[in-house]
Amino acid sequence: MNDQNVIHTHQAGKYLVKVINDKCIGAASCVAIAPNVFKLNEENIAEIISQDDADDNKLLAAQSCPTSAVEVIDTTTGELVWPK
């Protein structure tokens, strides 16, 4: 057993992303930019599969969404970072 190897616990950063299902039209640009975070489900709606990506990239993915269906929340302040 080598517990010392477990040093790189995934740091998800301070941004939390959410998909507003009603707004998602399945354009998949969020998936293209952040495939670790988003995937399309059977109904072609984006789902969050993890928060494991850099804050910048999560924000970029959110900003790429044509319908602003992705919200970005700063978990340190509770502030809505995107959409503005």
Binding site for ligand SF4 (CB under 6 A): 19, 24-30, 38, 46, 64-65, 67, 69-70
- 17 to 3, 25, 62, 73, 80: CA distances (angstroms): 31, 17, 8, 6, 10
Closest contact distance (angstroms) between CB of 25 and ligand SF4 is 5
Residue 25 vs 80, nearer CB to ligand SF4:
25
Shortest Cβ 13–ligand SF4 spacing (Å): 19
